[in-house]
Amino acid sequence: MLVLVLVVLLVLLVLLVMLVMLAVLEILAILEILAILALVMTMTMMTMSTAVPFCLQVWSVQNIIHELNASSTPQILVLNKADKYLELHNRLPDPAELNKVHDALTPRYTVVTAARLGKGLRKLMQVVERVLLESASKATLLIPYSAGDALAQVHKVGTVVEEEFEVSGTRVVAYLPRSLLNKLERYTLRPEQETAAAKAQ
């Protein structure tokens, strides 16, 4: 009887470890996207009387990013409350000047917004989408119908370009973060497999 209880406890422990590992992998995929979005730095310019405090804000954020070894993560410099800054200074801040504040500051894009007025938000969304697509990899996957959770993750985290239902499963072409692509590697079709699958239809 004791052996049976120990076996059941061992099986439960293994299942618990597997669930934790799956949760960690999903969290890593989400964190990769959140890291990109977290680096979309919103700078508050409402109370600034000179450019110095603004540069200090940029330096502080970049210093934290550098300490986290996240400097290679794509960055977008978002200059929010531009309407207030313009009222105080009769000009917008110079992104070129801000880019010199910290060595780790490497934004691909700078977007000026006035969120309260709704200005620049559409451009910000386009830039965020562009950065996410640039940091993702395009892949073709054949996901068996029995792995519906994998297909759900592709739809949740990735950008689906094409989806076809085949006899052996769902064939999906999508842009995916590297972490999710690694997790779904067993479903990834190599180019020669894609060609063979196309001929079979």
- The pLDDT assigned to 152 comes to 92
All structural domains of the chain with their residue ranges: 34-134, 136-201
Alpha-carbon span 53 to 58, nearest angstrom = 9
Alpha-carbon span 37 to 34, nearest angstrom = 5
- The pLDDT assigned to 130 comes to 82
- The pLDDT assigned to 195 comes to 53
**Complete edge-to-edge strand list for the sheet that includes strand 107-112:** 40-43, 75-79, 107-112
- The pLDDT assigned to 47 comes to 37
- The pLDDT assigned to 56 comes to 72
Q: In 3-state terms, what secondary structure has residue 40? A: strand
CATH hierarchy code of domain 136-201: 3.30.70
Please, what are the averages of pLDDT over each run of 10 residues along the chain (201 residues)?
61 62 57 49 40 67 78 77 70 64 67 82 86 82 93 89 92 89 88 56 55
Alpha-carbon span 69 to 44, nearest angstrom = 24
Closest CA to 178 of 199, 160, 158: 158
